[in-house]
Structure 1
Amino acid sequence: MNEFSFIDKSLATVFITLFVVALGFGVILPVLPFFTERLALGEGVSSDQITFHIGFLTSVYPFFQMLFAPLWGRWSDRVGRKSLMLMGIAGFVAMQLLIGVATSIWLLYLARIIGGIFTSAIIPVGYALISDLTSADKRSLGIALGGTSYSLGVVVGPFIGGLLSQRDWHWNLEWGHFLINGYSIPFFFLAIIGLLLFPLINKGLQNGVFLLAEKPKRSRGATWYQIVRDLFPLLFLSFIYQIALTLFEAVFSIFSKNELQYNAVTIGYGFMVCALVMALLQPLVVSTRIKKIISGRKQITLGFGIFGVGVLLLLLTDQLLYVFLFIGLLAAGGAFITPNVTSLISLKGEKVAGEALGIQKSTDSLGQVIGPIIGSWLLTLNTFLPYLLTGIMVLLVAGYLLISKKFMTVYGSD
């Protein structure tokens, strides 16, 4: 039987939605510094303050995702998935439109906050949908395909953002506090794509599935505390991985520019290599054939080991080919980690899978806030310190998993 024969219209809709949300994340990456600078200079903000604002505008998005993801996950278990997916897309569209017409730095903050709040529904609810629609033996593959969809959006997004913002559209329409010009086009494009998702979700996600013919009953006393307690090892692994990944991403641009003497285009290729390797490998490593050779628990251990080695090897070369090779190596480690950890959280969460995945998204977002901050601070101490300590930390996690009998017996089955 075809490995992917379980994919139906509903799952395809979820994958497309995850791709579009990731597209929104990717599009703003090459545009945000220029967009922020234009708005800030208009308000008389100094260059140092502009750097400050860029950093906070980057962090405010995952910060609000961290706060709201558990709430969305809980609500999805109670009222169903479809309505929350639609609310998430509505917030996504509002964020894009507001960024597109913003004429002040504070409107940009408002847009990012709205986006963080509402898009935090899409990822945990989307993965909960995948959990609803897949059997236990296909769960990891379904989640891996969701991860592939998201990774591809991150790859394509910067290309679209750069292409649409750099072209001179000869638009400069202004009224009141709003302005439309060349920088607005990528965000209007995303808003249109988001609007097109509404009928797709309405048709692709059937009420009978996503409002759940049999609503999961929340067991008495099943609090966030109990869910976190029961799933803590898996949540901690996801948290550590996100710190390591976002630290790598935040430091890579500065490290490559200052130490490796790379230009912006070459640095962009490095990020593309990372996302592409993750996108292509995730479905492969969790396929039934590979799972028969190496279990999900062992894949997680292997993933942390490969990621740690890849980060440390980046310190040993300035040759472009080897840098890309080592980035691909650490990305391969991530491909082993992400779908397996998420699948285990979904399976162990059982009837509160949506809430469990929401809590995972929250811990991931916390890691995404902390990682760049730690990386930037370590860079001020020593250029090589961020990758050195990250590699050691991740390898220590791999070593613990290798000898941990408890993790094998309690969390090893998938």
Structure 2
Amino acid sequence: MYHPDGAFLEQWHPSALTGSIGTLPESLLPLVPYRDQLVLLRRLNLMDGNGDGHEEAARCLLSGSIDPVNGSLDVHLADHFKQALLHVGIQASKNQGHSISFLPGGSEKIADDSPLAVYQRLFQGSGMPAGASDAAMLKNVEKELQSFLAKTDIERERNKLQQHLQQIQVLLRPTVGCSGYDLSAFAYDDSKKWEDKTAPVIMKMQMSNLVHAMECGLARVATLQFSRHTSTIKMDYDWLNRWNNEWPMESHQASHNSGAIHAQQKKWLNQQLAILFGLLAARPEPRVGRGGSMLDNSLVLVVTEIAQGASHTRKDMPYYLMGGKGIAGYNPGRILDCNGAPHSQLLYSMAQVLGGKPQGSYASAGALKGLIPI
């Protein structure tokens, strides 16, 4: 999950560099119910911690390089699981050149900012499990693909065929709840998706889209992008009182001019993410043979492109991981001192934790010491 323009570090980072999680700082207070699933990262640097500017920093967030020609972690993991990446946003695609996801070759993977379009595609279109007549056709296609697979030894072709087979198996899989959720619970007008006041409902709908898609087996990897770097979004919601009679500030403006307002903006974002974590925690893991909740078996990485707006520093980035208590070898519920390591090591280790192979620009970074046993 991406949020823009860094954080007010004095109200984000705990005072400790390592150990168990005690009292959470102001911006992280909404995460208290999920403290045992939380890993707070300290002294992790974006790349080498140097540089200036939001754009190049955003490009390297998930790719490990300011030139994302080798693609990004989310795309790599989706390819590993043989499923398409579900990339959704809240005012993320308003301008080009602001994505955090990249395909091999370096082209942007653009977020879909319409929660209604995402819902329709997932639960009312081709993303839906097949009906009886469609199932018969899919089974015939499955049989043909299996025949082709048995006849070829070319690895690239076998990988493609296996990917198609897995998608067909997802569509044929008997699932519950794949009709989506009750849209009437959200007062949403798609023509107003670019209005700042609509952002809270879009955020909730996109999170519902992600959780239901994963519960149904329609996605294994998702990227949720809240706005974009140097964001102009004004978060003047009912939780945010005005300080000193100031008018509501844009995200980027607050990051430079008001630590108090910026800290509250980040607290609001974590309040929304707590809803996402609650949805995952309330649902049993749908994959056969896995116990626990969806949160126990998921790993959510929360990132931003700079550490603090006023200084544009990229050192001691305000990142955290949520979930994963049911993942073998992974130990949440703590603060991890990264001791100045580059964030590309975090990307490397996340690929390992989730069963993928580190690749692209972060493949040579090596593992982040202390995140998982090496």
Does the pair score TM above 0.5? no
Q: Which has the higher helix share?
A: 1
Q: Which has the higher strand share?
A: 2
Higher RCO structure (Cα 8 Å, ≥6 apart): 2
Normalised TM-score (structure 1)? 0.25
Normalised TM-score (structure 2)? 0.27
